[in-house]
Chain A
Amino acid sequence: EAGVTQFPSHSVIEKGQTVTLRCDPISGHDNLYWYRRVMGKEIKFLLHFVKESKQDESGMPNNRFLAERTGGTYSTLKVQPAELEDSGVYFCASSQDRGVAKGNEQFFGPGTRLTVL
């Protein structure tokens, strides 16, 4: 079974440009999550989809970030316009069941390393 995949693996853009990150979850997983790790800091939650609906976007930094999951399959995270502080590693995760508090595992992708110059 294929795991969570993310594209691209690396992206280097200039400040002010637009970047779109893609995540393909494990087939059949309704729950999809985005996380971000800024250099040297902890991995932080950005948002959570259940199918195509946003359940929790409390971690989104600001309105320059737009996440979509049309059709409830893959998801995109667009940053427009990108700023220097957006640099970091963006992780996607998926799970079959929602309750992480009950120990249900989230499966993580390899991440997209974004560098904004």
Chain B
Amino acid sequence: AQSVTQLDSHVSVSEGTPVLLRCNYSSSYSPSLFWYVQHPNKGLQLLLKYTSAATLVKGINGFEAEFKKSETSFHLTKPSAHMSDAAEYFCARGGYQKVTFGTGTKLQVIP
């Protein structure tokens, strides 16, 4: 079965420092990959998606992710964390009719 693995359940960074949230996917011929964010009491919001075009994908709020086929990774990064980035982040892959999610990474931003 196709799967997505988020390597860290919690990540803590200081405000203004870089963010790295890690995601690996099981090998597939052509995955569609997504990053979603969920702020407290809000729905899942799409940050960015990879669909076999450019390997470096830019999303909203300054986030980006790089698709690395050789490493089967799709890590999410941001150069400088803001307090408003504190949330839970989900890596996911698109199947034909459904999305398969990782277990989520809670990002804490320390002032």
Residue positions of A touching B, CB distance < 8 A: 3-4, 9, 33, 35, 40-45, 48, 55-56, 59, 91, 93, 98-111
Sample of 5 A–B contacts (CB below 8 Å): A42-B103, A48-B98, A100-B97, A100-B98, A102-B94
CA distance A81 to B75 in the complex (A): 41
Instruction: Let me know if A103 and B94 touch, CB within 8 A.
Output: yes
Residues of A within 8 A of B44 (CB): 43, 91, 93, 108
Residue positions of B touching A, CB distance < 8 A: 30, 32, 34, 36, 41-46, 49-51, 90, 94-104
For the A-B complex, the count of residue pairs with Cβ-Cβ distances under 8 Å equals 70
- Taking A91-B43, A103-B51, A110-B42 as contacts, is the C-beta distance between A42 and B97 under 8 angstroms? no
CA distance A44 to B103 in the complex (A): 10
Instruction: Let me know if B101 and A55 touch, CB within 8 A.
Output: no
- Taking A100-B32, A102-B51, A105-B46 as contacts, is the C-beta distance between A110 and B41 under 8 angstroms? yes
CA distance A30 to B8 in the complex (A): 35
Query: Closest CB of chain B to A35's CB: distance in Å?
Result: 8
Instruction: Let me know if B46 and A56 touch, CB within 8 A.
Output: no
